[in-house]
Amino acid sequence: MATTAKKKLVQWDPTDIKAEMIAKYPPKVARKRAKQIMINEALENETPEILANVRTIPGIITMRGCTYAGCKGVIMGPTRDIVNLVHGPIGCGFYAWLTRRNQTEPGPDGENYMNYCFSTDMQDSDIIFGGEKKLIKAIQEAYDLFHPKAIGVFATCPVGLIGDDIHTIAKNMKEKLGDCNVFAFSCEGYKGVSQSAGHHIANNQIFRHVVGENDVPKEGEFKINLLGEYNIGGDGFEIERIFKKCGITNISTFSGNSTYDQFASAHQADLSAVMCHRSINYVADMLEVKYGIPWIKVNFIGAEATAKSLRKIAMYFEDQAFIDRVEKVIAEEMPDVEAAIADVRPRTEGKTAMIFVGGSRAHHYQELFKELGMKIISAGYEFAHRDDYEGRQVLPLKVDADSRNIEEIEVEADPERFHPRKSQEELQALEKAGLKFSHYDGLIPDMDSKTLVIDDLNQYEAEKLVELMKPDIFCAGIKEKFSIQKLGVPMKQLHSYDSGGPYAGFKGAINFYHEIDRLVNSKVWSYMKAPWQENPQLTGSYVWE
Ligand code: CFM
């Protein structure tokens, strides 16, 4: 009988969805989650406030990772010629060993430590009596074996608890070794509420110990730093290809396919182009204050977004031949993109998607879905801050007990090497012409009204959302993959790209269109039935002799 059927929210109302998502929570939890689940009402000049970058409620199965993951895995992981030495129990090293799909191309020198796992392998006795001697030995051993340019030491939770002085050890070993830069990161997993704290810690230490170390001039025209691009699934290779075609010199990438020397030379660029704002905005700001390099926000996810970002870079350098060359590249690349869209779009138009990824992709990937004519009905970040949702005009944010844990480093203009790349007048003229400096508008203004913007979505809510709104595709990570697929909805990993990619740039966009077409139009999902859906009563019997 129809009356026994559950209410099916075909024309869902966001208020009902929100109420349903938090209905089962105890009142205190519901109150907190209500502030992190927002029905988008962004008006042109006004973005509603969302609660973000706060502690996950204990007991909730979050999608987040830890501070060590953000520092060692995300920011420092993709750099091939720095030995990343994990000071801690072996599990922390093991689980950060090649699990993120950042790729690298070692080049002629072949120096690449990314496929190794370096760890001090702390044991119970080290935790009781201290791990400093072991760390000193491990640094020496890594140096003797590989003679790397640099060794980074990463603290895991127990190191902070027992108080090993990793920074003094790093300083002493740097002096002792002479030709190897040794620095350490106090990135204990518990340091912040998520991996976001680890980004900040990595930004600080890399800026303090490496940026500016190489003053040997870098050749090339139109020199930029590409900040916040991590070469997942080869994205960075596609962006590099486009840069080369356009005549852009990439001094450094933070940190996809990068080297120690790139970081050391970053102060020689004339513009920083920021892709993932959340993970690297601190470096962008510090490069500006110390060396006078302005930064702009870019996005190479989506063909239109790529073209727009290239045009912004060209506009900044104010060189007509360069502007023309960029236009020529766009004109050459777009026909293939348009042909792919024309093929795929009739099958994807009007379909719906949900995106829940880290701190920037839930925004960037909306571009690709829009190119397919698809609608984003709900999106959010795992660990972004309010500025990533609402735009940087909300800065500075109130400092709470957790953010107070993370060091803010004081940076001043370098007495010799600070030189503003553009005068105030030039910057103002460019702003007038439409280029925004040191700014990010955030995710919310780009989302439709009445969509749901959700911070730190958890497993229970993810399943509820899918059950209620039945999207045609759900995008998140490996932790969510199988629980969503069991609900009969296709799931695309946007952290690791499953085994696909690249999705950045022009060629990447084409890859993405085809992949999404295959996923949302596959019938296989409608055939899926979990055993309990077919037969709600499961029986079992004990077997023993
Ligand atoms: Fe930036 Fe990232 Fe992301 Fe991120 Fe990440 Fe990643 Fe990510 Mo996974 S740096 S915030 S900490 S774009 S590893 S390459 S996919 S959560 S949205």
Q: For residue range 262-313, what is the model confidence (pLDDT) as tens digits?
A: 999 999 999 999 999 999 999 999 999 999 999 999 999 999 999 999 999 9
Nearest residue CA, atom 7 of ligand 1?
358
The Cα–Cα gap between 160 and 127 comes to 11
> What is the pLDDT, as a whole number, of residue 5?
41
The Cα–Cα gap between 452 and 449 comes to 9
Name 333's Cβ contacts closer than 8 Å, sequence gap at least 6.
242, 303, 506
Neighbouring C-beta atoms of residue 11, cutoff 10 Å: 5
357 C-alpha to ligand 1 centroid (Å): 7
442 C-alpha to ligand 1 centroid (Å): 15
Whether residue 160 is predicted with pLDDT greater than 90 in this model: the reply is: yes
Query: 505's torsion region: left (phi>0), alpha (psi -120 to 50) or beta?
Result: left
Does residue 504 have its Cβ closer than 6 Å to ligand 1?
no
Does residue 364 have its Cβ closer than 6 Å to ligand 1?
no
Query: 282's torsion region: left (phi>0), alpha (psi -120 to 50) or beta?
Result: alpha
Minimum-distance ligand 1 atom for the alpha carbon of 362: 17
Minimum-distance ligand 1 atom for the alpha carbon of 73: 13
Catalytic residue numbers read 66, 69, 100, 199
Residue 530's pLDDT band, with cuts at 50, 70 and 90, is confident
527 C-alpha to ligand 1 centroid (Å): 33
Report yes or no: 103 and 236 within 8 Å, Cβ to Cβ. yes
> Percent of the chain, pLDDT > 90?
90
User: Residues 91-117: what's their mean pLDDT?
Assistant: 93
Sign of CA dihedral 315, 318, 324, 326: negative
493 — phi, psi (to 5°)?
-80, 120
366 C-alpha to ligand 1 centroid (Å): 15
Report yes or no: 117 and 143 within 8 Å, Cβ to Cβ. no
> What is the pLDDT, as a whole number, of residue 45?
61
The Cα–Cα gap between 299 and 235 comes to 12
CA 50-56-60 angle, to 5 degrees, is 120
290 C-alpha to ligand 1 centroid (Å): 26
Report yes or no: 247 and 329 within 8 Å, Cβ to Cβ. no
pLDDT per position as a tens digit, 194-236: 999 999 999 999 999 999 999 999 999 999 999 999 999 999 9
Nearest residue CA, atom 8 of ligand 1?
495
Name 272's Cβ contacts closer than 8 Å, sequence gap at least 6.
224, 225, 227, 283, 284, 287, 288, 293, 294, 295, 296
Does residue 357 have its Cβ closer than 6 Å to ligand 1?
yes
Neighbouring C-beta atoms of residue 304, cutoff 10 Å: 16
Nearest residue CA, atom 17 of ligand 1?
358
Sign of CA dihedral 476, 481, 484, 490: positive
Query: Ligand 1, residues 230, 299, 387: which to mutate, most atoms within 8 A of Cβ?
Result: 230
Whether residue 469 is predicted with pLDDT greater than 60 in this model: the reply is: yes
- What dihedral do alpha carbons 319, 321, 322, 326 form, nearest 10°? 140
Whether residue 143 is predicted with pLDDT greater than 90 in this model: the reply is: yes
> What is the pLDDT, as a whole number, of residue 545?
60
Nearest residue CA, atom 1 of ligand 1?
276
CA dist 35 → 48, 53, 493 (Å):
11, 12, 27
Neighbouring C-beta atoms of residue 103, cutoff 10 Å: 20
Minimum-distance ligand 1 atom for the alpha carbon of 196: 11
Query: Ligand 1, residues 67, 200, 360: which to mutate, most atoms within 8 A of Cβ?
Result: 360
pLDDT per position as a tens digit, 471-517: 999 999 999 999 999 999 999 999 999 999 999 999 999 999 999 99
Does residue 495 have its Cβ closer than 6 Å to ligand 1?
yes
One-letter amino acid for residue 98 of the chain = L
> What is the pLDDT, as a whole number, of residue 6?
46
> What is the pLDDT, as a whole number, of residue 540?
77
511 — phi, psi (to 5°)?
-55, -45
One-letter amino acid for residue 61 of the chain = I
The Cα–Cα gap between 84 and 357 comes to 25
> What is the pLDDT, as a whole number, of residue 195?
98
CA dist 108 → 114, 238, 277 (Å):
16, 20, 32
The Cα–Cα gap between 68 and 66 comes to 6
User: Residues 137-145: what's their mean pLDDT?
Assistant: 98
The Cα–Cα gap between 77 and 195 comes to 13
The length of the chain in residues reads 545
Does residue 70 have its Cβ closer than 6 Å to ligand 1?
yes
Does residue 74 have its Cβ closer than 6 Å to ligand 1?
yes
0.85 exceeded by the pTM?
Answer: yes
